[in-house]
A and B are shown apart, each in its own frame.
Chain A
Amino acid sequence: MGPNRFRAQVWLTWMLLVGLLVALCRHMGLDVAYVVDRLPFLLGLHLAPDGFIQGAALTLLVTGLSMVFALAVALLTALGRLSRNPVAFGVATFYASFFRGTPLMVQVLIIYLALPQVGLVLGALTSGLIALSLNYGAYLAETIRSGITSVPRGQWEAAAALGLSRGTTAWRVIAPQALRLIVPPAGALFISMLKDSSLVSLMGLWELSFLAQSYARATSHYMEMLFAAALIYWVLSIVFEIVQHRLEVRFGRGIVSRDATTHVA
């Protein structure tokens, strides 16, 4: 089967499944008007009563900021893991071990509920950002480290032999090759982070899943609201995947690709 025909059939199957889902919803007689009415709130087009952003906008803000911080933390940790300095190595492995070895939920609660006991009071948003960044930074560090070490030693040597500075070698030779390997697992981590950002609702922040639940509970429109929330998460995840795919193509230039059919998005 040619790759084009395969793609077409995959699309067709997707369409069919979407159609089936829509038919099922109609069959259940869901209250679509209710969803449409609440949609601007779910998406975060309106601010919450306390003036804070809410819904999907808050979800995206938390995810976006945590991504940036997690990347910074992960890069430092990866360099620590690659360092010959025992202190840097020790700090990096200790941090990664703790944050990979404990549940994210416990980390969130420690930062938000336990730290105030010793006088360190952090806001809900700050606590959420710190917990997500540190947790995902620990995983991302490993991804970055293995991406860097996967670049063959000959690349460093060729760069050195040409007299390239360390900075040029790192950014122009090693990083682009490492990124090709880092982007796919990092993309998966960020999508997972998008979903885990719902944990900030523990601290009273009105992000997407929390809003959906409260609207659902208020009028017993569970199916409608939870389904709408799921759909929004899903669409966001697909957007993330598309960005990831673009980056993969960008950093895959010059490298012969092995599979062209696996990407649906």
Chain B
Amino acid sequence: MPLVDIRNVSKHFGEQVVLQDVSLAVEAHAKVVICGPSGSGKSTLLRCVNGLAPYDGGSIEVDGTLVTQERSSLERVRRQVGMVFQSFNLFPHLTVLQNCTLAPMTVRHLSAAEARTEALARLERVHVAGLAERFPSELSGGEQQRVAIARALCMNPKVLLFDEPTSSLDPVMVHEVLDAIAELAESGMTTLCVTHELRFAQRLADNVIFMDKGAVIESGPPGQLFAAPRSEQLRTFLRREHLPAPGDVGPH
């Protein structure tokens, strides 16, 4: 059974269709990248997976739990699913360590000492353990995003969702964050990552999902998908993202 099982999910904002009949099965240890033009519903899809946004039709199951807006469902699902946001969303009034221990202490009921030990180990995994006593405002964007990843890891999730984790970073910091994500994924963490970094997708993903206007247009291994796009939408998208598809003569 897939760890995350999205079946025929649809969602509207008023009149606007944001997701239509989206299906996606993510097996344990899978490395999935979602790409597509802005406004195509990628963030919304991720937010439906951990219940930050409700969906109208279809079903989403995480490790066998149906995702609904019921409190019991949300509690179970969010224990399994970690999320990393484009804008980091660290808690600015807490130190790096406190950011990482708050949820383990209040949700998993760890003691301060246990939470601290675990947090330092997770911070070490993304190479920011030395910053434990700092406040987020004293960190670079790349460091903040790696702390956000460590914070999510501290809940021992089975899946990590990344929503454009490098889109608000200076170019020089993009790589340190992508490398951290790649390391995690290689070590077996199930990863569902929305990104515009197509070279990263090519390097890491075993499955790439291309979305447009709320629907999954194409999916497949990155080599195959990027080398031989079948749809006009994906060809256009790849041209815009400067990853010219073979056979394309480039812009006129």
Contacts and interface: CB of A to CB of B under 8 A. Distances in A.
B103 A162 contact: yes
B112 interface: no
Contacts of A161: 50, 52, 78, 81-83, 85, 152
A254 B106 contact: no
A125 interface: no
Most A Cβ at <10 Å: residue of B50, B79, B85, B89: B89
A251 B93 CA distance: 8
B56 interface: no
A157 B87 CA distance: 11
B136 interface: yes
A119 interface: no
A184 interface: no
Interface string A80-119: 0000000000000000000000000000000000000000
Contacts of A152: 89
A254 B87 contact: no
A165 B107 contact: yes
A258 to B, nearest CB: 12
A72 interface: no
A254 B79 CA distance: 28
B151 interface: yes
B135 interface: yes
Interface residues of B, number: 29
Given A165-B107, A168-B106, A180 B93 contact: yes
B17 interface: no
A152 B92 CA distance: 11
A163 interface: yes
B95 interface: yes
A254 to B, nearest CB: 4
Given A254-B95, A254-B135, A172 B102 contact: yes
A161 B152 CA distance: 9
Contacts, number: 73
B151 A162 contact: yes
Contacts of A251: 93
B137 interface: yes
Nearest to A158: B89
Interface in A44-89: none
B52 A162 contact: no
Given A154-B89, A155-B89, A253-B135, A163 B95 contact: no
B103 A157 contact: no
Task: Return the 4 tightest CB-CB contacts between A and B, nearest first.
Answer: A254-B135, A158-B89, A163-B78, A154-B89
Given A155-B91, A158-B89, A173-B102, 13 more contacts: A158-B83, A161-B50, A161-B82, A162-B152, A163-B74, A165-B106, A168-B107, A177-B92, A177-B93, A254-B92, A254-B95, A254-B137, A255-B92
20 contacts: A158-B90, A161-B82, A162-B82, A162-B155, A163-B79, A163-B103, A163-B107, A163-B155, A164-B102, A164-B106, A165-B107, A168-B102, A168-B107, A177-B91, A253-B93, A254-B92, A254-B137, A255-B93, A255-B137, A256-B137
